[in-house]
Structure 1
Amino acid sequence: MKEIMNWKICEREHIKKISIDKDKISSILKMCDARFRFVEKQDIDDETAFIITEDYYEIIKELLIALLLKNGLKSDNHECLISYFKEKHPEYEYELNIIYELKNIRNRISYDGIFVKKEYLVKNKLEFKNIIKVLKELVEEDE
């Protein structure tokens, strides 16, 4: 598996400093909450597992975007969102590895047309929910 992009490369080539926009962060959090509530209501089977997996990735990705925005940063790619999380929150190495694996699976769904088996989602759903909880707390905590 390819390694997570180096944060120094991200900083130099893919990250720009921006003004902190609390309204945008709040809007992203609301959208993530709505998507999460929707996903939680869905029945998981072999036909829906890939869609639900993509939705969990989308929630996590948007929370990573909000985390960067909270710190006055914006990334032009998903890799650097993950690299930022690795750089700034090394205490979440386990969660980071799951996020990175999920990103790769989501890319295979989107670009290679693979279907995720129901068992994959059932096995990882609690991990995804925990990551969402962690990221929300990081975005919402006062600095």
Structure 2
Amino acid sequence: MDFNECIKKRIAKEVKEDKELIASLIKTSQNKFDSEKKLELSEVTSSSKISLLYDSLRELLEALAIKNGYKIYNHECYTYFLKEILNESIKGDEFDELRKIRNSINYYAKDISVEEAKDVLKRIIKLRKGILNLLLKMKRAFIVHRWDGTPKNDWYPWLKRELEKKGFKVEVPAMPNTSEPKINDWVNHLKKVVGKLDNETYFIGHSIGCQTIMRFLEKETYNNKLGNVVFVAGWFKLDNLESEEAKATANPWINTPIDFNKIKQKISKLTL
């Protein structure tokens, strides 16, 4: 099975982000986490402690899935969600192993010793911490402006405000020498601003900003998927340029090829 099959079987579906539900799930997860700590570990309580802590982990996974636009009804599908949607294969494999241990306890009445329980509880706590970090990590959006533009031009301030309302950290970098943009200068500046890429990194490009993003991604060695990328009024050819200076500025952008396959490998969804 994979995540697409989870969708087809309707044991996972796309939903809108629900911040109130996410907050509620984080709270109930913490309550179970705190409750588990109050139980002294023994042969009698080992199974209960594992079940409580697993449920605490599972509720964080539910919140993380909703944050990323999915409602998941089957525990196994969380494995594929982690591995295929978030590109967190190690976490996905670990959750799958813990899921099987919990199922053997809950559904097949498997006895578990205190020593075994200690190991399982440590693993759940470690994975839960990793999931919580993913959940609380803020999405970052970078808006790259047009030729001869500034961060205060056009629709950039409006979009920045709207994205911030949705919980994004938004940057609209002032690109260098905007009247005569040069590929290396713009790509290097964007690289400096963005820093480390991850699956919570989003890009919006306008006009020459679209090419800047593509040329930046083409050179990056990041091998996983980013968040979504949106291009507005991008171009690879310009007609009716008004001056020889404008033509000289545009020519490198028009004539320097881009390896689109390298870019496609990094993008989860592209909107033009």
Q: In the alignment, is the contact (CA less than 8 A) between 1:64 and 1:82 conserved in 2? A: no
Q: How far apart are residue 99 of structure 1 and its match? A: 1.6
Q: Name whichever structure is richer in helix by fraction.
A: 1
Letter in 2 for 1:38: S
Q: How far apart are residue 57 of structure 1 and its match? A: 1.2
Moved more, 15-24 or 122-131: 122-131
1:26 aligned onto 2:41: no
Q: How far apart are residue 54 of structure 1 and its match? A: 0.8
1:6 aligned onto 2:22: no
Aligned equivalents of 1:16, 1:8: Cα separation in 2: 10
Q: Name whichever structure is richer in strand by fraction.
A: 2
Aligned equivalents of 2:69, 2:87: Cα separation in 1: 20
Could you state the TM-score of these two structures normalised by the residue count of structure 1? 0.87
Q: How far apart are residue 91 of structure 1 and its match? A: 4.2
Q: How far apart are residue 117 of structure 1 and its match? A: 1.4
Aligned equivalents of 2:110, 2:88: Cα separation in 1: 32
Q: 1:82 to 1:12 in 2, by over 3 A?
A: same
1:108 aligned onto 2:104: yes
Q: 1:15 to 1:109 in 2, by over 3 A?
A: same
Q: How far apart are residue 56 of structure 1 and its match? A: 1.6
Q: In the alignment, is the contact (CA less than 8 A) between 2:50 and 2:102 conserved in 1? A: yes
Counting matched residue pairs gives 138
Identity, in percent, stands at 28
Displaced runs of 4 or more, over 6 A: none
1:73 aligned onto 2:65: no
Residue segments in structure 1 that go unaligned for 5+ positions in a row = none
Aligned equivalents of 1:124, 1:140: Cα separation in 2: 24
Q: How far apart are residue 16 of structure 1 and its match? A: 1.1
1:130 aligned onto 2:122: no
Match of 2:42 in 1: 45
Match of 2:207 in 1: none
Letter in 1 for 2:6: C
Q: In the alignment, is the contact (CA less than 8 A) between 2:60 and 2:132 conserved in 1? A: yes
Aligned equivalents of 1:124, 1:80: Cα separation in 2: 21
Letter in 2 for 1:55: L
Letter in 2 for 1:118: V
